[in-house]
Copies of this chain bind each other. A is one copy, B any other.
Amino acid sequence: MTRPSRHLPAEKRREVTIETVIKLAAEQNPSEITTAAIAKRMGLTQGAIFRHFPSKEAILQSVIEWVAERLLARIDKAASGAPSPLAALEAMFMSHIDFVATHPGIPRMLFGELQRAGETPPKRMVKTLIQRYSERLYRLIEEGKRAGELDVDIDSSAAAIQFIGTIQGLVMQSLIAGDIERMREQAPKVFAIYRRGVGAAP
């Protein structure tokens, strides 16, 4: 067990900073997270942050990188263990829900970045993440069609949008209810509807 120490090696401090931002994002509006708030949560002064990151934007970039790596690895692992394309979609879905339920700040941060005005580096990273995610979905959906599990008449890219939207809907509902665990309960129910929507007629 490593108890939180004041002095940490640079790399460790960067990691802790990223995790702190994700925790804070679960509690408050991500766009209102200040460098002072991050430092306070870590038990540091605000200036110390800038020993490890050149700017606030660089922190956000690192956070999104952290998320992209873990999320994609997780869903890839979930999908690879599934016996069929449709089972892979379901495993991805549940794995993704579990991920955002564990880190409720993450979808909020990503969506917040997407709303930014210009083409900031963090925004481009979010775009890339979602595009990679969509590509994986698209491939699985096409495979599912070939395997006879999914209906060949549905639009594959629309089905990918629908998949992501389904997760978004659950996230939004948990924001309204203020209850993250509810998401886990409702996930199977909404996925059942999605499966009916894209699945081949029996």
Contacts and interface: CB of A to CB of B under 8 A. Distances in A.
Interface of A: 27-32, 108, 111-112, 114-117, 127, 130-131, 151, 154-155, 157-159, 161-170, 172-173, 175-176, 186, 189-190, 192-198
Contacts of A192: 154-155, 158
22 contacts: A29-B112, A30-B115, A31-B112, A32-B117, A114-B172, A115-B175, A154-B196, A155-B186, A157-B186, A158-B189, A158-B192, A162-B193, A164-B169, A164-B173, A165-B167, A165-B168, A165-B169, A165-B190, A168-B168, A169-B169, A193-B194, A193-B198
A158 to B, nearest CB: 4
Contact of A31 (B31, B165, B173, B193): B31
